[in-house]
Amino acid sequence: MTFQDLVSTPSTFPSWIKRIPGRNAGSSGPSKGAIVVFPHAGAAAASYRALASALAAGADTYIVQYPQRADRLNEPAHETVHDLALGLFEAGPWGSVAPLRLFGHSMGAVVAFEFARVAEERGVAVQKLWASAGPPPCVVAEMPELPTSNDEVLAELADLGGTDPELLADEEFSELLATAMRADYEAFNRYEPSPDIRVGTDIHVLGGRDDHRIAIEVLRLWARHTAGSYELSLYDGGHFYLYDHVDSVAAQVNADA
């Protein structure tokens, strides 16, 4: 970390980075660092509260909030996924809670990967990246552009699952959700990573056996993006398998501290 990095690093986290205190706080053992959770496209931090609470059994857990939703509703969206990750990193004193374990689901896995790149460049220790049901950077160039019109975005949400259909039927809620998801999809569409880009930290990939959006063969390609070790764990379920396995996934992450 350079002197300029130290000067520009904030001393506290903003209110939109949600902290769930670790239940091992105050123990006499060595610090286990912190876990940082990166939501999927369109999601607010609140939708990952259950996972973060389970992860807090092992360490302080932070859920980041992207712009264009909740308490960042009026903040402008970032141009690309990398810019989003950079903004999230520069918003808080991550070095003070390192080493970090990063957990991202779906697009959040890609945001977490870019966050790891920034952290490593700035000298902040990343212990492991947990990439859940997300596309590895090497396939991004081959992916069709994600939809960005309201109707297309809402159809995409219905196809993905993971959102209560009754909520999607609510006009006000669906408009807010579409705004957030459109911002994230536009940032992803502008993301142009090198297929050979890598981080130094280990990557552990998680996925659903019946995920019709991200095939198991695609999940295996995450191995190209680490100079460390690579592991793959599969759970029963589709793209949002995570909702049915919160405790099991949290236990797996916490056991790896």
CATH number for 59: 3.40.50.1820
Token pair 């019109």 is found at 149
**Structural domains in the chain (count):** 1
Quick: pLDDT tens for 45-95.
999 999 999 999 999 999 999 999 999 999 999 999 999 999 999 999 999
Tens digit of pLDDT for each residue in 152-202? Answer: 887 877 777 656 667 666 778 888 888 999 999 999 999 999 999 999 999
The rounded distance, in Å, linking the Cα atoms of 186 and 178 is 12
CB atoms < 10 A from the CB of 209, how many?
11
Nearest CA to 116 out of 80, 81, 143 is that of 81
CB neighbours of residue 173 within 10 Å: 14
From the list 83, 38, 40, 69, the residue with the least C-alpha distance to 191 is: 83
The domain containing residue 213 runs over which residues? 3-255
Q: 136: closest CA among 172, 107, 101?
A: 107
Take residue 10 and report the two structure tokens written for it.
Answer: 């904030």
